[in-house]
Structure 1
Amino acid sequence: MTILVTGAAGFIGMSVAERLLADGRAVIGIDNLNDYYQVSLKRDRVAWLQQRHGKLFTFLELDFADMAGLRSALADHAIEAIVHLGAQAGVRYSLINPHAYVQSNLAGHVNMLELARERRVRHLVYASSSSVYGGNEVLPFRVEDRADHPVSLYAATKRADELMSETYAHLFRISMTGLRFFTVYGPWGRPDMAMWIFTQKILAGEPIPVFNHGRMQRDFTYIDDIVAGIIGCLDHAPVDDGAIKAGGSRAPHRLYNIGNNKPEELMHLISVLERAIGRKAEVDFQPMQPGDVPATFADIGAIAQDIGFAPVTSIESGVPRFVSWYRDYHQQ
């Protein structure tokens, strides 16, 4: 039996696939390799998995928003569980290309729910986002907080995914867990995120864009901690016993925050990056961007209690690891 990982050419998807494969579990990875950011990085991630794990890893280039193609490609594969991490990412891009979010995050998510129903998988773990909390000003963000005032289309699609998953879990008694990620970073990270952009520009001697004039906080979470949490959730499917689960559901559906539980000032992150790179940053202060929020902070009490999730990586240790990988990858 095999674990299906969507978004396997993406940052978190590739990292989860690597951990599963290292544990000796067979993985089918699917990804459409879209050009939201450079496809070469996505192909390098897939190649790295293939080189390290050979036949234990099967990669299928396809769009999970295409249900007929999805069914056809997986017809001969038995699937034990699904880790659905594929999505159209990015808050700001959702203002430019909303239809990409509707196709991938809404239609694509329904397709994965249908696949889980048809195959009667043991567990579906899927990616949500801390963006669902919208303009919530009460910190830390708790799973029990209202999440019905999104400030971006991206956030709205992720909240819709949670509601559709709740419905499927209730109707078809499929065990599901939704994870609200908080600013993930680390080796093989995404070029559209601050850690990569800042590193790239500092190394090039270019000014870095700092929004809201630097008055920003983020719950930066290192990729190894995130992967440990995802695998822990995967191996602890919610029991269909009628009891209230995390997030207030009586269906076998849980919602968890998964973050570092330690928000960092953006200017402090920049100082840590400067030390790791060995070069001072030139800062270009800019106003708040549409769809953005000034602070994120994860209450991780529920996931800590249920699966023992305990992030251990501070930015003081995680940022230098990312910078080292970045320099190796770009031969700098």
Structure 2
Amino acid sequence: MSQLKQISHNDNSAPSTPGKFKMEKSPYFNRTRWHYSLAKLTLWSFAFLVVILIFFLRSPTSSVPIDPSRRSLRTYNWGGSAWEKRVRSSARVRSRNGMTVLVTGAAGFVGTHVSSALKRRGDGVLGVDNFNDYYEISLKRARQALLERTGVYIVEGDINDEALLRKLFEVVPFTHVMHLAAQAGVRYAMQNPGSYVHSNIAGFVNLLEVCKSVNPQPAIVWASSSSVYGLNTKVPFSERDRTDQPASLYAATKKAGEEIAHTYNHIYGLSLTGLRFFTVYGPWGRPDMAYFFFTKDILKGKPIPVFEAANHGTVARDFTYIDDIVRGCLGALDTAEKSTGSGGKKKGPAQLRVFNLGNTSPVPVTELVSILERLLKVKAKRNIMKLPRNGDVQFTHANISYAKRELGYKPTTDLQTGLKKFVRWYLNYYSGGKKAVE
């Protein structure tokens, strides 16, 4: 043992490997290497944290494709005393016997007009909208600004967000819900079918789940569609006609909504009124609608697709002006009976209705184009095409006798008058009013 100690402490000992010199490691050398390793570890840790931070900061706008059916489920900022105060203020009733209405899809075309009309007559109104990018968000933001000037606050959120909906009912005991939020459009369903199931079915069920459990339960008026009549050939379309032949996924989701409404009415006592809208048009409309993009393309000198049915058959629509639709919506809200459930349990039979809201005067699409030509003072470049097999139907025609009897619904605006108002708005909004309207 002593011999080993002697050898280990001998400064003149030979190297362990012949031909190589091995330096003895001093305490100073060890400390230097330790500090170097620590610095290197710290540097790499810092670099790793920077990478993680950059990833999270960039993730909302990442170029990685996102399932478009989930695009509306973003993280929204809501809650807090200031937010609740704003919600209550918007929903405050300012007329005797007024109602408090939650309007979903409030930044949409119909939602904006209905919210404004309710507010003008003194009802309490609160909007909800997810501001998705199905069409230009700037138009939705402009509608939002318009409503804010009238005192209507739109909560930015998704109807699939159960926590948000429950919070809204906790803050405000809504007497009515005007459910207009939906994925619209017939042709877009061929590109993004998931968005229709997500919004029109899952979103509707989520809303009904919340409404069934709150106390008191609200009465619900919601937007169905004339598209549920599908391939029916009997005209005009009546609420008593069959609706089991949808021609598009959009139509199928709206039909599914009507069956879902029946279920929640039957089991939970929710008061539900469905409104089958027929081709709504007017100021602040949807850019994906024919009258809207026809106007845009005619002014730009671009050709517009004018469809015709087989054997040169006429394609016609029951165009319904927005003001007439709004009156129908308010009539449905005013005549809606109270829900009969409490705490998710039905106490008695509840009201269940479906109404057509149309104009009863179908107009050929070719005539629509002719009216726009006269109003815009520009000749359209018509590209005559066969009606594609994408869910579009040849004609729509509403029988509105039921709505007239029960809601006092009576449309008063013909297509010529309605388009004149739309074109005036369009030119003011997009062109600064530079073009005149006859």
What's the TM-score bracket when you normalise by the shorter of the two chains? over 0.9
Name the structure 1 match of 2:382: 283
Q: 1:106 aligns with which of 201, 208, 213?
A: 201
Answer with 83-92 or 64-73: which moved more: 64-73
Q: Distance in 1 between matches of 2:338 and 2:399?
A: 23
After superposition, residues 1-332 of structure 1 pair within 5 angstroms as: 2-51=100-149, 53-54=150-151, 57-119=152-214, 120-212=216-308, 215-238=314-337, 251-289=350-388, 290-330=390-430, 331=432, 332=434
TM score, norm. by length of structure 1: 0.93
Answer with 108-117 or 301-310: which moved more: 108-117
Partner AA of 1:300 in structure 2: I
Q: Distance in 2 between matches of 1:174 and 1:18?
A: 26
Q: Distance in 1 between matches of 2:155 and 2:318?
A: 33
Partner AA of 2:195 in structure 1: A
How far did residue 238 of structure 1 move?
A: 4.5
Q: Distance in 1 between matches of 2:371 and 2:289?
A: 16
Partner AA of 1:319 in structure 2: L
Q: Distance in 1 between matches of 2:160 and 2:306?
A: 35
SS where residue 179 of structure 1 aligns? strand
> Contact 1:238 / 1:253 at 8 angstroms: preserved in 2?
no
**Residues 204-252 of structure 1: CA deviation (Å, up to 9, x unaligned):** 11111112367210000000000000001100015789xxxxxxxx851
Q: Distance in 2 between matches of 1:252 and 1:145?
A: 20
Q: Which runs of 5+ in 2 are unaligned?
A: 1-92, 94-99, 341-348
Instruction: Give the number of the structure with larger relative contact order, counting CA–CA contacts within 8 Å between residues 6 or more apart.
Output: 1
Q: Distance in 1 between matches of 2:192 and 2:339?
A: 39
Name the structure 1 match of 2:18: none
Q: Distance in 2 between matches of 1:121 and 1:15?
A: 25
How far did residue 288 of structure 1 move?
A: 1.1
Answer with 285-294 or 37-46: which moved more: 285-294
> Contact 2:107 / 2:154 at 8 angstroms: preserved in 1?
no
Answer with 294-303 or 212-221: which moved more: 212-221
SS where residue 210 of structure 1 aligns? strand
CA-based RMSD: 1.6
**Residues 177-220 of structure 1: CA deviation (Å, up to 9, x unaligned):** 00000000000000000110111111111111112367210000
Please say which structure displays the higher CA radius of gyration: 2
> Contact 1:236 / 1:307 at 8 angstroms: preserved in 2?
yes
Partner AA of 1:44 in structure 2: A
> Contact 2:147 / 2:153 at 8 angstroms: preserved in 1?
no
How far did residue 287 of structure 1 move?
A: 1.7
Partner AA of 2:277 in structure 1: F
SS where residue 151 of structure 1 aligns? coil
Answer with 7-16 or 263-272: which moved more: 263-272
Partner AA of 2:407 in structure 1: I
Q: Distance in 2 between matches of 1:42 and 1:328?
A: 16
> Contact 1:166 / 1:251 at 8 angstroms: preserved in 2?
no
SS where residue 235 of structure 1 aligns? helix
How far did residue 73 of structure 1 move?
A: 4.6
Q: Distance in 2 between matches of 1:170 and 1:100?
A: 27
CA distance change for structure 1 residues 195 and 99 in 2, over 3 Å: closer, same or farther?
Answer: same
> Contact 1:262 / 1:297 at 8 angstroms: preserved in 2?
yes
> Contact 1:218 / 1:266 at 8 angstroms: preserved in 2?
yes
Q: Percent identity?
A: 49
Q: Distance in 2 between matches of 1:73 and 1:26?
A: 13
SS where residue 20 of structure 1 aligns? helix
Q: Which runs of 5+ in 1 are unaligned?
A: 242-249
How far did residue 78 of structure 1 move?
A: 2.0
SS where residue 308 of structure 2 aligns? helix
SS where residue 178 of structure 2 aligns? strand
Q: Alignment length, in residue pairs?
A: 321
CA distance change for structure 1 residues 64 and 122 in 2, over 3 Å: closer, same or farther?
Answer: closer
